[in-house]
Amino acid sequence: MVRTPGPCRPPPPMTAPSIFCLVKGRLPWKAWIPGRREMKFLYPWTSVILSQAAEKKNDSFDLEELQETDLEEQFVRGHGPGGQATNKTSNCVVLKHIPSGIVVKCHQTRSLEINRKKARDILQEKIDVFYKGQNSDILKQREELERKKQEKRKKARENLERKKLLKEKQLSEEGN
């Protein structure tokens, strides 16, 4: 057993395997909550964590809530006993929106639960574009982002060009 630093009482001798260590934490909240995350529950057994970013993104729009009953979810991890008796690393989620037939796949992270949440976010956006077409806020935002990116790139190019010209001018002046 590795002893931890800090104010520890000397632990009594261990008689494995049934000795239990009681650790008490005194944890002031503020110190360790960098950007608290909110929970949202789709259904008691599909409680999924909303990341702050995802929440912000969708809050600004009027995206329609996904109905869990409209979804068909599949996992690539295969059929095993599950729980402690299974240890798989494949956390890919395949999510189908039955009314529209749209299917998304998500294996962005190493957490199944986060992938389930992300799959729902992606699906929600796709459905928005599917039903609203050109009027979709998501599409508009994406175009806006693309436009801004282009602009930024253009500016950077112009800047570079200017600097180059300046340098050439300086060089030619030094040469004189």
List contacts with another protein (CB under 8 A): 1-9, 11-12, 14-34, 36-37, 39, 41, 44-49, 51, 73, 75, 79, 81-91, 107-114, 116
Nearer to another protein, 28 or 101 (CB): 28
The entry of ligand SAM, another protein, none near residue 51 (CB within 5 to 8 angstroms by kind) is another protein
E-assigned strands of 76-142? 93-97, 102-106
Nearer to ligand SAM, 91 or 124 (CB): 91
Query: H or E stretch including 41?
Result: strand 38-41
The entry of ligand SAM, another protein, none near residue 176 (CB within 5 to 8 angstroms by kind) is none
Neighbours of 92 (CB within 10 A): 15
- Distance between CA 150 and CA 104 in Å, rounded? 28
Which residues make Cβ contacts (< 8 Å) with residue 61, sequence separation at least 6? 128, 137, 138, 141
- Distance between CA 129 and CA 92 in Å, rounded? 24
Nearer to ligand SAM, 8 or 22 (CB): 22
Least distance between another protein and beta carbon 123 (Å): 16
Strands 93-97 and 47-50, by their bridges, are unpaired
Least distance between ligand SAM and beta carbon 36 (Å): 22
Decide: residue 108, CB within 10 A, 0-12 exposed, 13-18 middle, 19+ buried: middle
The entry of another protein, ligand SAM, none near residue 159 (CB within 5 to 8 angstroms by kind) is none
Nearer to ligand SAM, 84 or 87 (CB): 84
Nearer to another protein, 81 or 101 (CB): 81
Interface with ligand SAM (CB under 6 A): 18, 20, 84
